[in-house]
């Protein structure tokens, strides 16, 4: 039997919220299909869940929240669905950017920006510029993102410098590769959450999640609420993290 005061402890120790939580927001389409609704409605409800997740992350004391919003492979979906998703991205920035800024959120977008719709490209730059100095929560949006592509871009950049004689190939180490990733300067995620019951990474933060804990939730993204967020963090706190050693180490 746990001691009575252990029972009284809140499920989530807010002081110990993981510093960086990354989320694969999956299951919008299935959420809609289960209700006889079009996939676009699932995505619309997904944006509402996203909004709530950002708010909750701030309240829980999380410093960095990374959300997988569109993968490099998602372009293979039907044109109509891509159009719906792009319209939602634009609508989200238009409607939510000021509020995010007011609440101290710093927006950072990772992924390949080359070849993006010029309006989306401009919106991304504006959002980053406007919120650059905010430090309550960093919201990292993975858009047109693929972990393999990100690592390849970093490798290409280092190879260019080496070919130009500005870099000794023997000096390339993990820290140097990391410094070329889109996430340079951010802590690695200690917790990666995926909704929808799928248990895979789908090309998300391949490098950065080397020692992350994974929590797979059986609910679809539009149903992800504060209780689900707290449940995932509670599960994270029950894990023993060893980072290759023999004893548990606490990592934030």
Is 214 a binder of ligand IPE (CB under 6 A)? no
CA distance 164 to 82: 39
Per CB under 6 A, the list member of 47, 49, 60, 70 interacting with ligand IPE is: 70
Selected catalytic residue, list 5, 13, 74, 173: 74
Among positions 230-249, residues that touch ligand IPE (CB under 6 A) are none
Contact status, residue 66 vs residue 22, Cβ threshold 8 Å: yes
Contact status, residue 18 vs residue 62, Cβ threshold 8 Å: yes
Contact status, residue 139 vs residue 67, Cβ threshold 8 Å: yes
Is 40 a binder of ligand IPE (CB under 6 A)? no
- Closest CB to Mg ion among residues 26, 84: 26
DSSP state of 172: -
**Residue 72 beta carbon to ligand IPE: minimum distance, rounded to whole angstroms:** 9
Bridge-partner residues for 140, per DSSP? 66, 108
Among positions 14-53, residues that touch Mg ion (CB under 5 A) are 26
Q: Which residues contact 88 (CB under 8 A, 6 or more apart)?
A: 43, 44, 47
Q: Is position 74 annotated as part of the catalytic site? A: yes
161 binds, among Mg ion, ligand IPE, none (CB under 5 to 8 A by kind): none
CA distance 122 to 215: 34
Binding site for Mg ion (CB under 5 A): 26
Which residues are the active-site residues?
A: 26, 74
Binding site for ligand IPE (CB under 6 A): 24-30, 68-71, 74, 85, 196, 198, 200, 202, 221
């Amino acid at each position: 039997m746990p001691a009575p005061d252990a029972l009284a402890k809140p499920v989530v120790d807010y002081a110990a919220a993981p510093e960086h939580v990354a989320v694969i927001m999956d299951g919008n389409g299935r959420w809609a299909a289960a209700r006889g609704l079009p996939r676009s409605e699932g995505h619309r409800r997904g944006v509402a869940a996203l909004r709530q997740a950002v708010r909750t992350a701030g309240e829980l004391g999380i410093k960095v929240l990374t959300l997988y919003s569109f993968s490099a492979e998602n372009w293979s979906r039907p044109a109509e669905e891509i159009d719906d998703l792009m319209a939602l991205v634009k609508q989200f920035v238009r409607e939510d950017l000021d509020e995010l800024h007011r609440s101290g959120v710093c927006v950072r977008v990772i992924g390949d920006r080359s070849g993006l719709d010029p309006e989306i490209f401009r919106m991304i730059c504006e959002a980053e510029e406007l919120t650059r100095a905010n430090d309550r929560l960093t919201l990292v949006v993975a858009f047109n993102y693929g972990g393999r592509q990100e690592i390849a871009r970093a490798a290409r950049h280092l190879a260019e410098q080496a070919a130009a004689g500005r870099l000794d190939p023997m000096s390339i180490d993990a820290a140097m590769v990391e410094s070329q990733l889109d996430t340079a300067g951010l802590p690695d995620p200690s917790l990666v959450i995926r909704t929808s019951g799928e248990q895979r990474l789908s090309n998300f933060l391949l490098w950065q999640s080397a020692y992350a804990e994974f929590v797979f939730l059986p609910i679809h993204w539009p149903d992800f609420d504060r209780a689900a967020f707290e449940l995932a963090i509670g599960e994270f706190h029950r894990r023993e993290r060893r980072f290759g050693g023999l004893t548990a180490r606490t990592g934030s």
